[in-house]
Amino acid sequence: MSHAQNAVLQLNKAGSSYFVRSYAKINLTLDVLGKRADGYHELVTIMQTVDLYDTLCLTITEKDCVQVICSRPELSHEENLVVRAAQMVRRSFSLTQGLLIELYKRIPVAAGLGGGSSNAATVLLALQQWWRLPLSLPDMLAMAASLGSDVPFFLRGGLAVCEGRGERITPLAPHWPTKMRWLLLLKPALGVSTATVFRSLPASDYTNGTCSQAVHTALAAKGQLHLEHLHNSLERGVLEQYPEVAQAREALLRAGAPCVQLSGSGPTLFAPFSLLDTAAHVQQRLRAQGYEVYLTCAIHPNGVDISFF
Ligand code: C5P
């Protein structure tokens, strides 16, 4: 560690805390192109950050360890990605100061909304900024990719095309279609394992990426976005394997959603709306049926304005 870092680290005494938000994402498209030799699947997916977030409070401790306390007790363990992210940073700089991570979860868990990946990216960014660590973007991206395929996206967030196993990010300008100004997220009452969903994906569900290409082109040109171009290669299998998700999809359509799609490996479904009152009305109808439904919107986490078209 250099003297400069030492000087900065001395400012952060045991007991000082840093609060930060960690946002969820949806997958506007997710094309699985095929299976790779390393067991992962080759993807093209367009992801967008949404205004649904967990809150993290990082506190420096005198113990030489990282501990997480989560509002969902089943996540308070050292395999939690936030602990692995913090340990990675501490190891890289041979830091001995300990860290307590308090994690208030609002993003549903194992839901296809990237909550765990977002939490890990948030810890990397928070420690880099708070402790002013000389971590370059390539360093951060490599650390993020080693934690999980979705983690690199969350280092910047916003709107991006993600390729490879999901870790190769091309940021897009923050333009978003007006017809998707409001988003309902419906989380069926089950958790789904990403690994299981990918493992049971038949080759007949692979695509050549044309849907992602069409949506990318429309977003880049601020042209018409056709809702029928929204596609998720994992959706057919998830709807077949988990009837609760298929029922929830029907319920959303019956309640007035113009279109419904699975986010990531699910089971969360999202539906876009141009008008807030329509979205709120549909949310109310679904909540009356006992569904867990969030009303949210696309955002850029760094406060950048989104222009709608
Ligand atoms: O990268 P991550 O650990 O989040 O991925 C979880 C699991 O999902 C992987 O172990 C793999 O089984 C599957 N996966 C995949 N192809 C991808 C991303 C994830 O097969 N592109």
Ligand 1: does its nearest atom lie under 6 Å from the Cβ of 149? yes
The Å distance, Cα 273 to ligand 1 centre, comes to 30
Domains 3-172+300-308 and 178-296 equal at CATH topology level = no
154 C-beta closer than 6 A to ligand 1: no
Phi and psi dihedrals of 246, rounded to 5? -65, -40
Distance of CA 41 from the midpoint of ligand 1 (Å): 7
CB of 153 sitting under 6 A from ligand 1 = no
- Mean pLDDT of the 175-198 span: 96
Tell how far the Cα of 238 is from the centroid of ligand 1, in angstroms. Answer: 16
Position 302 confidence tier, pLDDT thresholds 50, 70, 90: confident
Average pLDDT (243-260) is: 98
Tell me the average pLDDT across 18-26: 97
Does the C-beta of 194 come closer than 6 Å to ligand 1? yes
- pLDDT band (50, 70, 90) for residue 3: very low
Computed over every residue of the chain, the mean pLDDT equals: 94
The residue-averaged pLDDT of 229-242 equals 97
Tell me what the mean pLDDT of segment 10-36 comes to.
90
- CB-ligand 1 contact for 188 (6 Å cutoff): no
Residue 41 in contact with ligand 1 by CB distance below 6 A: yes
Rounded to whole angstroms, the Cα distance separating 154 from 166 reads 11
pLDDT tens for residues 108-139? 999 999 999 999 999 999 999 999 999 999 99
Per-residue pLDDT tens over the stretch 40-86: 999 999 999 999 999 999 999 999 999 999 999 999 999 999 999 99
Which ligand 1 atom minimizes the distance to the CA of 117? Answer: 4
pLDDT of residue 235: 98
- Where are the domains positioned within the chain? 3-172+300-308, 178-296
Whose Cα sits closest to atom 10 in ligand 1? 195
Three-state SS across the chain?
CCHHHHHHHHHCCCCCEEEEEEEEEEEEEEEEEEECCCCCEEEEEEEEEEEEEEEEEEEEECCCCEEEEECCHHHCCCCCHHHHHHHHHHHHCCCCCEEEEEEECCCCCCCCCCHHHHHHHHHHHHHHHHCCCCCCHHHHHHHHHHHCCCHHHHHHCCEEEEEECCCEEEEECCEECHHHCEEEEEECCCCCCHHHHHHCCCHHHCCCCHHHHHHHHHHHCCCCCCHHHCCECCHHHHHHHCHHHHHHHHHHHHCCCCCCEECCCCCCEEEEECCHHHHHHHHHHHHHCCCEEEEECECCCCCCCCEEC
**How far apart (Å, rounded) are the C-alpha atoms in residues 101 and 244?**
34
Instruction: Assess whether pLDDT exceeds 90 at residue 9.
Output: no
User: Residue 4 has what pLDDT?
Assistant: 46
The amino acid that residue 70 corresponds to is: C
Q: For the domain with range 178-296, which CATH number is right: 3.30.70.890, 3.40.50.2000, 3.40.50.720, 3.40.50.300?
A: 3.30.70.890
- Which whole number is the average pLDDT over 11-36? 92
Q: Annotated active-site positions, please? A: 25, 150
pLDDT category, 13, cuts 50, 70, 90? confident
Residue 61 and residue 17 in contact, taking contact as beta carbons nearer than 8 Å = no
* pLDDT band for position 1 (cuts 50, 70, 90): very low
pLDDT for residue 47: 98
CA of 265 to the centre of ligand 1 (A): 10
The percentage of residues in the chain with a pLDDT greater than 90, rounded to a whole number, is 87
Q: Is the pLDDT at 169 greater than 80, yes or no?
A: yes
Of residues 185 and 306, more confidently modeled = 185
Strand 261-262 and strand 269-273: the pairing is antiparallel
Fold entry, domain 3-172+300-308: Ribosomal Protein S5; domain 2 (3.30.230)
CB 32 within 8 A of CB 201: yes
